[in-house]
């Protein structure tokens, strides 16, 4: 039987739980270990290890079409972690305590997350607008407080 291509399974499980895409893992394995893998290989590992699918789409928290270059910025990672928690999913590794700290900072600063794809940074913390920004994000222009289109 051929030996496994997986150099460090715990590392990959951490990446999966962190929310990294299978495409990212394939590229990282190529870069880090010079080993060619496939997307289905990582999906099979996730399924064999009983790891829930990691994708939770919470459009109340990330209603924007996020540019590739901004997807792994800290505010985006924290919004995805908040979405996972709200959906009753586990948050891997130290992300649970990071999320708690991040949520406390938003409450203490009374700030919300704003996304502007036309900037290099993409993500910003801005003052909460009372009665408008009722969750973790700056409600995008043209959206009602609940995330639906204004009429």
Predicted local confidence at residue 94, as pLDDT: 79
Q: What's phi and psi for 124, nearest 5 deg?
A: -145, 150
Instruction: Give the pLDDT band of residue 3 (cuts 50, 70, 90).
Output: low
For the segment 90-148, what is each residue's pLDDT rounded down to a tens digit?
777 778 899 999 999 999 999 999 999 999 999 999 999 999 999 999 999 866 433 33
Average pLDDT over residues 67-92: 89
Measured at the CA of 62, the angle between CA 75 and CA 67, to 5 degrees, comes to 75
Q: What is the pTM of this model?
A: 0.63
Residue 58 CA from chain centroid, whole number: 10
Q: What is the pLDDT of residue 143?
A: 60
**The pLDDT value given to residue 17:** 77
pLDDT tens, position by position, 38-63: 989 998 998 898 877 656 678 899 99
């Amino acid at each position: 039987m051929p030996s496994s291509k997986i150099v460090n399974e715990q590392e990959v499980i951490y990446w999966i739980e962190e929310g990294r895409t299978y495409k990212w893992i394939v590229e990282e394995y190529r870069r880090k270990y010079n080993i060619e893998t496939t997307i289905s290989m990582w999906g099979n590992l996730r399924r064999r290890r009983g790891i829930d699918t990691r994708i939770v789409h919470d459009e109340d928290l990330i209603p924007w079409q996020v540019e590739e270059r901004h997807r792994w910025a800290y505010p985006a990672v924290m919004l995805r972690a908040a979405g996972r928690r709200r959906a009753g999913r586990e948050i891997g590794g130290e992300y649970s305590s990071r999320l708690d700290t991040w949520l406390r900072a938003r409450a203490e600063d009374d700030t919300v997350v704003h996304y502007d794809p036309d900037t290099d940074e993409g993500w910003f913390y801005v003052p909460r607008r009372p009665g408008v920004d009722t969750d973790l994000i700056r409600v995008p222009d043209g959206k009602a407080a609940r995330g639906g289109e204004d009429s």
